[in-house]
Structure 1
Amino acid sequence: MNNAIRMYLPDVVGKGYRDFWNFRGRYRVVKGSRASKKSKTTALFFIYMLMKYPQANLLVVRKVFRTLKDSCYAELSWAAKRLGVDHLWDFKSSPLEAIYLPTGQKIYFRGLDDPLKVTSITVDVGCLCWMWIEEAYEITKEADFDMLDESIRGEVPGNLFKQITLTFNPWNEKHWIKKRFFDVIDPEIFARTTDYRCNEWLDESDRKVFERMKESNPRRYQVAGLGNWGIVDGLVFENWKEESFDIKAIKKNVDIKSAFGLDFGYTNDPSALFCGMVDQVSKVIYVFDELYKKGLSNEQLYTEIDSKGYRKEKITADSAEKKSIDRLYTLGLSRIKAARKGPDSIRNGIDTIQDYKIIIHPICVNFITEISNYTWDKDKFDNKLNKPIDDFNHLMDAMRYAMEDFGKGETFSFD
């Protein structure tokens, strides 16, 4: 090849993932801290390997399809550019897929919210031999993983191998992934933990974020910094379950009222919109949608809410951001209002929500992550305090704001 690209792969990929790169068993599982480059390394691996093996195809899966474009699709597109081969790839948005132009091999993107599309893939060239499940902790039911596992089946050419790669942040030690992959010894399983210290491309300011976390929030540092399993002890809300439901059918119930809450964020924290329906008679909260994104200006936040069709809904927002509330009102959220403040507002809000059963639609993956990790705080002697941790609380706060009008008495308020 006269136009061959020559490069020293470790210079492009970096260090810390040699064993991950070379493993050829069935299951390759990596939990890691933020900035541990697990997703970027995985994306680089698949672009490189697909070009190396002309009969291979890749299926990329997340629990909810709509989350793929801004995550795995973007990472794989970045990887093609990083390797200097983006001119050989066609990344299409409709349908969401990537095609290796010299051979016609494909990267398919699917969500578990449409399981039929996951199990019915027919490849045009070669065979479907590899799968990447990103944010695998979102898959709360082991049976759903079993379905995915069974979709990588059949004979492959002798120089190929079948493999499923799972990457995720280890929020919850009780997740089925720990028992299945990390608590066993099996030659078909590669299970490792990585952290930010293996990422040589972080600058000093990036590293200081983790050093500050180590001092100010050692509990969070163990998970978000070092990639250790999150120890979930003393959940604030245990009155919930994940269950699919017909949103339109629920809305027809005469006792149902809508409830929308907004918590503001930007650089480090996401803007979080809680979208629920409340049955005060049966004492049930139905969580049917969410918005959870960082880096949104007020204008972008308005556009996101409008695109979801919630512009005309009554939204109760964090009263600490009055300037943002005023701006969103001007842009078109005519029913947005500030949450009321008052003493013990967080505890009162939690007390109200604990009187309800919470049913969460499976598409609300960030809500499920937060509520399954939102615990009571502890003092330095490991005694529980009468306040929740300042973490996993963006949608939890938004839910409290949304439930303001369903509280106990006219003086009920939020902080």
Structure 2
Amino acid sequence: MITVNLPAWAQWLDVPLAPDRLPVRHRVLLGGRGGGKSWTIAHKLVERAIRNPERILCTREYQNSIRDSSKRLIEDVIDRMQLGARGSGFFTVTDKEIRGQNGSRFVFMGLNGKDSAIKSLEGFTLVWVEEAAAVAQASIEALVPTIRRERSEIWWSYNPRYRHDPVDMMFRGGTIQPPGSIVQIVKWSDNPWFPIVLHREMEFDRQRDPEKHMHVWEGQYVERSEARVFHRWKVHAFDEPDDALHRFGADWGFAKDPTVLVRCFIGRWAGEPYNSDIIADQKGDHLFVDDEAYKVGCAIDETPALFAGFDHLRPARWQNGFLHPGITGAASYQITADSARPETIDFMRKRGFNISPAIKGPGSVEDGIAFLKSFDIVVHPRCRHLIDELVLYSWASDRHTGEILNKLSDKNNHVIDALRYALEGARKASRPDFQGYSTGRSIMFDIPGYLPSRWSEVHPDLRAHRSVIGDLFR
């Protein structure tokens, strides 16, 4: 077995007694991004499974499939410690479980607030609740009494969101904690191996948006929730249907700003929301966002790889020196992008991307946000930058009185802007005064009230035309 160096705070996952001198029942690790909480917990769980035969449940509120779980992370730790098939063979990995030669077992499932599923877990000795800030009160009330074997433990890890989140109310909301609790705050500064790529993002937020920096990186609560723009959204792992009509939107970075690509589709649930299949439906009431690419200070010649990963044509049209994974379909689907950088759009087109500028004008931001708010937005957990922005995007406030204004704040909106652009075609098609007809892949449309001169101001390429030709119904 290979010994792995862990942060100093990892000791709190080993001590047998809590500050109240009782055997540890709850180990709570909370704080901002970059502290290494998940990796450290995974290592400690593997160590526990080696020492004793443990039945370990790795859970979160929603887990649609095994790939949305921490299973891949646990497997990586096992490989790193040379305990898997390419090492000592102590652990055997199957499609749904991980088993140890001493009888230890890792199981992965979602809680979903369902008592019947949770109450079948009473034989487990150790539980890791990931992203615990999103766990419902009903799930907590069902889980805690179910895990009742002698010396059983529950480990909670999360980045704080709101003071009233159930897990935060349980461990930080009053003067008394549950018996046997250890609550440890973990920050990026506590991680001696804090990656340089995250350091760039953190410095960007520190300089441009101190409020976001304090929440995302320092683990502070989101304050003034009444000023938030988006309320109808949820983080939920899902698999898109085969016939999903993907829409892509891009926002360009300026200097140290992030360059962003986002992928989404419109649909609805076949049955109970979040517990049934997804149906792709252009008239659906849900917007599913399943992937994002994001980099601060992305050079223009790095952008194709950021969006699409490696170019599989030969000769390659771009290089991928940073090994970006890209987003599937980015090199072939139409992308609607911020029109403020025509030179970047031209650069991407020359490398084979089907990319068009968004049409801006008076009220276009407000219209785009209103259209986004007309959906229940479902965000895949991998879209962590969009999650940050949906939490923090807010209405502007008067800096003297603190009064909330009827004006959108121009921060925490890079991925949201890309999402607006992605839905531009669907938004315009939904307008009652929209008139359009198809000519193959092109759509001709006319919107009353827009004079030729107005169109010229909004979109120089249109010149004196009142009709816009595009592929808005893709």
Instruction: Give the TM-score of the pair, scaled to structure 2.
Output: 0.63
SS of 2:47 mapped into structure 1? helix
Give the distance between the partners of 1:222 and 1:244, measured in 2 at CA: 26
After TM superposition, the structure 1 = structure 2 runs for residues 135-154 of structure 1, keeping only pairs within 5 Å, are 135-139=131-135, 141-149=136-144, 151-153=146-148
The answer to whether structure 1 residue 131 and structure 2 residue 148 are counterparts is: no
After TM superposition, the structure 1 = structure 2 runs for residues 4-403 of structure 1, keeping only pairs within 5 Å, are 12-22=5-15, 23=18, 24-53=23-52, 55-65=53-63, 69=67, 72-81=70-79, 83=81, 85-86=83-84, 87-88=87-88, 95-100=95-100, 102-112=101-111, 119=118, 127-139=123-135, 141-149=136-144, 151-153=146-148, 155-156=149-150, 161-184=151-174, 185-186=176-177, 187-202=179-194, 210-211=202-203, 213-231=205-223, 232-238=225-231, 260-263=247-250, 271-277=261-267, 285-292=285-292, 297-300=306-309, 316-319=336-339, 320=341, 322=345, 326=349, 337-354=356-373, 356=374, 358-360=375-377, 366=383, 370-378=389-397, 381=400, 382=402, 384=404, 386-391=407-412, 394=415, 396-403=416-423
How big is the shift at 1:384?
4.7
Across the aligned residues of Structure 1 and Structure 2, the Cα RMSD in angstroms comes to 4.8
How big is the shift at 1:392?
6.2
Whose Rg is larger? Answer: 2
SS of 1:40 mapped into structure 2? helix
Write out per-residue CA displacement over residues 341-389 of structure 1, whole angstroms, 9 at most, x where no aligned residue.
33453233224445x3x33458678567653442224576556562335
SS of 1:167 mapped into structure 2? strand
Give the distance between the partners of 1:294 and 1:243, measured in 2 at CA: 20
Give the distance between the partners of 1:112 and 1:301, measured in 2 at CA: 37
Equivalent residue number for residue 254 of structure 1: none
Contact 2:163 2:169 in 1 (8 A): no
Write out per-residue CA displacement over residues 176-224 of structure 1, whole angstroms, 9 at most, x where no aligned residue.
2221221132223333322111112237786575455434322122112
How big is the shift at 1:42?
0.8
Q: Among all aligned residue pairs of Structure 1 and Structure 2, give the percentage whose two residues are the same amino acid.
A: 19
Write out per-residue CA displacement over residues 108-144 of structure 1, whole angstroms, 9 at most, x where no aligned residue.
2223479699648789xxx4211112222343x3223
Give the distance between the partners of 2:11 and 2:143, measured in 1 at CA: 26
Contact 1:299 1:328 in 2 (8 A): no
How big is the shift at 1:241?
7.8
Contact 2:293 2:306 in 1 (8 A): no
SS of 1:16 mapped into structure 2? helix
Instruction: Give the TM-score of the pair, scaled to structure 1.
Output: 0.70
Contact 1:262 1:316 in 2 (8 A): yes
CA gap of 1:203–1:325, structure 2 versus 1, over 3 A, is closer
Amino acid at match of 1:359: D
- Structure 1: 5+ residue stretches without partners: 252-256
Amino acid at match of 2:247: F
How big is the shift at 1:314?
6.6
Contact 1:37 1:196 in 2 (8 A): yes
The answer to which structure, 1 or 2, has the higher relative contact order (CA under 8 A, 6+ apart) is 1
Contact 1:276 1:285 in 2 (8 A): yes
CA gap of 1:198–1:337, structure 2 versus 1, over 3 A, is same
Contact 1:135 1:168 in 2 (8 A): yes
Write out per-residue CA displacement over residues 312-346 of structure 1, whole angstroms, 9 at most, x where no aligned residue.
9876454556268648965xxx7x64422334532
